[in-house]
Structure 1
Amino acid sequence: MKRKKPIFALGLLIAFAVLISACKGATGDDASADGDSANVPQPYVTLRMIMPGDESARMREFVDNELNERLKKELNMKLELTYIPWSDYQSKIELALATGENYDLFWYGTPFVSDYKAKNYIQPLDTLLRQYGKDLTARIPEDNFKLDEIDGKLWAIPSQAFTSAGKFTSVMVRQDLLESVGMKSIQSISDLEAFYSRMHAADPSYYGYLETDRGQDALWRELSDQPLTFLDENQIFAVNENTGGLVDYLESDLYRKVAQVRERWVGMGLIDKQLAGNLAANIDQEDAGKLLFRVGAVSRAMENLQTVQNADPDAKLREYYLAPDKPKYIVAPSNEAYMIPKNASHPERAMRFMNWILQSKEHYNFIIYGVEGKDYRIENGKIKLLTNDQFMYEWMWRNKNYFMPTTNVDDSVVRDMMHNDDNAKVSRLFGFHFNPEPVKNEYAKVLAVYNEKFVPINIGIVSYDKQFGQAMDALKKAGYGQVWDELQRQYAAFRAGQSLSADREESK
């Protein structure tokens, strides 16, 4: 009997160890913390994700069936994907974040990261990325991550890794319609006006439309003798790329010129008063194939082609820069940011899911295009779409390592994208984040006045000459001066930090 005791004790020890291990796996959100997603995590969870847009029938079917079947097997999770229409996305996502709704992952543009961090809506991702994001860091350049670093911590995943110089300063046009009225390209404001006038004479059902909630800087390329870059999403302040100095844009002569161009466009019908400022109506017209041009985004001519060809199979899109010989600047190599809310139930699984997307070209194609042979096939190095439904937005995850254009995109458009960053310059603003917290009350009032009194001037439906003076007075009473002073203080500190870092690099 005594000889059996050591064996019996060893058996108890092994059983106890197995029990402890099982308990840890059952109670933790993720049993494996070594970053190797080949080890299926435990327990089975539902990952709640928010995305903008209108969910297609095939996307819902794909998520519920093929995608979730695979995610259950490889990540032991179910994806619960909620789509919010573009026109309501900002208001509804902020409401969800402010009220602490139980979501695990959401997308928004990079400019929103600093604001959501300041509002304590999101959580830092450094540890999660280090543990579960090895494929993200392998396939997204280090500089892209620096965009979303604030106070020494990472607050979002910059999912896109592609060309980006001059983003949102180009104009995307209906190339087929441009050619139909005897024009080949767009290089100036007068070209845009001629395109609209000729097309309106041929078929007045088309709308001119340069995206009215942004796009002022697309006009700067021609109207300004200095290269400027917008500092904020609200398009109030800018930086002079030549001098590095901040620019009070609203009080500049350039703002007057831009506003007067827009006012002229309203007068000639190029901007339709019924559509101006109505994002949902603008999107509806674009989806119906009725918009002649809008703000570009380096690769929007490819991104929007499928939608416009659903309305008009012969449609072609192409992007142009006004004053094309002027330089382009890289402000954000990735304008796309995936964030994990502070109150997320499954942050580890959210990071694993993002990492899974870039783990291989097969994963990348699967979540963006669906099932090979059913939703798409590969022809001569291009994606042949077999369904008109949208899946995960390709532009949110576009990556040089995996990118393939679709067969319906002209080779000239692909060349434009691939060479867009040739001879581009890095913006003075690269990596700068304005923290409005020290002047949050004044900043909120300034934005309220700006939206009420300046946006109608921006669009062109209110006269600059008649309304600017009183609009500027109201802005100053709201605290514009305090916001401007705080912005200058933070930007000066940022520039000083850049100089210090450069000195350190030179001394190595």
Structure 2
Amino acid sequence: MKKKERFFLRVFFLAVFIVLLTACSSDTESNEQVSDEDGEVNEETETLTIAFPYFYGEPEDLEKVETEISKLAEEKINTTVDILALSISAYQQQMNLMLTSDEKLDLMVILADQLSPQVSRGQLHELDNNLSENGQGIIDAVGEEFLAATKINGKQYAIPTVRDMAASYGFMMSKEYVDKYDIDVDQIKTMEDMGEVLRMVKENEPNMEPLTSTTVGESIMETLRFVDPLSDFNGGVLPNYDNDLQVVNLYEMPEYVERLEILREWYQEGLIVQDIATSQTTKDELLKAGKIFAFSQGMKPGIETQNSRDMNQDMVAAEIIPPVATTSNVASIMWGIPRNSKIPEKAMEFLNLLYMDKEMFNLISWGIEGEHYVKVSDKVITYPEGVTSENIGYSFNSSWLFGNQFLSYVFEGEDPDIWEETKEFNEEATKSKALGFNFNSDPVRTEVAAVSNVKEQYLLGLETGSLDLESVYPEFIERLKEAGIEKIIEEKQRQLDEWAEINGVEKE
């Protein structure tokens, strides 16, 4: 029986048990404490229900690893765990059901766009006192600056995972063609520079349409961000990551229009895959078939190695937008304690282990040593003999999900110093002036839905160069205004001003 099915059966039988227990009289007092032989009072072992999504399938050995996690947690904090792992496609819907029905749930992953709505509905515990009393390892690992990104109205409601907290943007290119045409990657600093490289490759490879986007159905601009989206792109943004906290309409910014013009020019020159807006062929397939040379890419330390492994060929990166940390980067994956939890202190103690205890972190991330991985060195692991990515019993392939990724082993083939490099990347990144601001879209949910519909109709075509800019762009702007984008911007500005006052962020 699948883990999640057993979970719901346990909830049902627990409800039946409570009814029977209430109907019976007993001299036995139900306590949260027991006495040992010497009469000393000991804390009873608690069980935490922990929920998180998986992205690549539920591991076959999840229950086996859960047992080991419980053993370790009981030894360290007198707690066992009941893990509820759900497919990402069903995760948010199931969390909504559990949060509204008050089912047992003690610790959960919060996805980026859910923090403000869950806080506004009163579904999360405030964490400030609990964090200071039971989460010193979290505070040390995350740092006050990044913890601020998951505060609402000055109060801590979630904890961001420790990973790449910033992002830079640019293009990923096949090293085969970089070497073939002696391309100086270090000289690619702007979109104009990249355009010259694309033209040169096209001239020498006339059957190639050199550029595509990172993901099917995603625009090229999606991974060439140059503003703080202030939680989303459905309304106003913050130019230059400062702009004296004045919110503007991204789609009317001269810099945005300029980028659309460049993409349209590239598309008309055959530098962009001509069916990019409709094709279901992935960049991987296009690259392996020799039909493209490059794709737009969000950057972080290790991205060249990651893409080289995924593409099964050497890849090199050209960064054109330097690293910046915004709330959207920091708060993309968080942990929180639902109001459902009757033992929030114990939940914080366990979460603290995921941020400070290497043994616990790697157990939940990689499984059981000797069975799911073996050590190559103190930092590096690989598959045990006879185990491959195809038959491994436990692999979420998502160490960024489980607390402090800097505690993680590095898989063989990756840079052993990747976490030191990522820490430096985070520290050196420009910090948006609005870092910590979370937009609550509830007051303008109707307008947000309408703007989203307009974007769905126009944006992919415009941001891949596929649509005629001169005729379509004015229509796009008009439709956005009809949908209520200006009302969204006004509301975002109001909330940003309020946030700045609460947090002492001064304007010029």
> Shared fold by TM > 0.5?
yes
Tell me what 1:24 maps to: 32
Q: Are residue 251 (structure 1) and residue 240 (structure 2) matched? A: no
Among candidates 312, 325, 329, match of residue 330 of structure 1? 325
| Equivalence for 2:57 | 55
Instruction: State the distance in 2 between where 1:347 and 1:287 align.
Output: 49
Alpha-carbon distance, 1:502 to partner: 10
Structure 1 Cα separation of the partners of residues 67 and 32 of structure 2: 30
Bigger proportion of residues as strand: 2
Amino acid at match of 1:451: E
Q: CA RMSD in A?
A: 4.5
Which structure 2 residues correspond to residues 244-393 of structure 1 after superposition, within 5 A? 244=244, 245-264=246-265, 268=270, 270-271=272-273, 273=275, 282=282, 292-299=294-301, 301=303, 304=306, 309=309, 312=312, 315-316=313-314, 319-322=317-320, 328-332=323-327, 334-335=330-331, 336-343=333-340, 347=344, 350-379=347-376, 381-386=378-383, 388=389, 390-391=395-396, 393=398
**1:396-429 Cα deviation digits (max 9, x unpaired):** 3574863554441247977864543565432111
**What TM-score results when the alignment is normalised by the length of structure 1?**
0.71
- SS in structure 2 at match of 1:164: coil
Retained in 1: the 8 A contact 2:364–2:402?
no
Give distance in 2, aligned partners of 1:350 and 1:303.
36
Q: Report the counterpart of residue 492 of structure 2 in structure 1.
A: 487
Q: Distance in 2 between matches of 1:62 and 1:276?
A: 43
Q: Which of 141, 144, 157 is residue 142 of structure 1 equivalent to?
A: 144
Residue-by-residue CA offset, 1:303-357 (whole Å, 9 max, x unaligned): 946xx63773xx4455542166xxx433247333123444457655543432222
What do residues 265-315 of structure 1 show as CA deviations (whole Å, max 9, x unaligned)? 55537356367597xx7598699999953432424617946xx63773xx4
Separation in 2, partners of 1:92, 1:136 = 28
Q: Is the Cα contact below 8 Å between 1:275 and 1:282 reproduced in 2?
A: no
| Partner residue, 2:109 | 107
**Shift >6 Å, 4+ stretches:** 202-207, 286-291, 411-415, 500-503
**Partners in 1 of 2:265 and 2:476 — Cα distance?**
20
Deviation for aligned residue 1:385? 2.1
State the distance in 1 between where 2:106 and 2:305 align. Answer: 26
The structural deviation recorded for 1:53 is 0.3
Q: Is the 8 A contact 1:156 1:338 kept in 2?
A: yes
Report the Cα distance in structure 2 between the residues aligned to 1:66 and 1:302, rounded to whole angstroms.
Answer: 35
State whether residues 454 and 480 of structure 2, in contact with CA within 8 Å, keep that contact through their aligned partners in structure 1: yes
In 2, Cα distance between equivalents of 1:356 and 1:177? 44
Question: CA separation of 1:114/1:58 partners in 2, compared to 1, >3 Å: closer, same or farther?
Answer: same
User: 2:165 is aligned with what amino acid?
Assistant: S
Paired-residue identity, %: 17
Cα contact 1:133–1:352 (8 A) shared by 2: yes
Q: How many residues align?
A: 452
Aligned to 1:42: 45
Q: What displacement does 1:146 show? A: 1.3
Equivalent residues of 2:172, 2:295 under 8 A apart: yes
For the residues of structure 1 that align with 2:367 and 2:179, how far apart are their CA atoms? 35
Q: Tell me the distance in 2 between the aligned counterparts of 1:422 and 1:41.
A: 42
Report the CA distance between 1:150 and its aligned residue. Answer: 0.8
1:240 aligns with 2:235: no
- 1:215-235 per-position Cα deviation (integer Å, ceiling 9, x unaligned): 6375466xxxxxx43223226
Q: Distance in 1 between matches of 2:380 and 2:343?
A: 33
Match of 1:82 among 85, 88, 109: 85
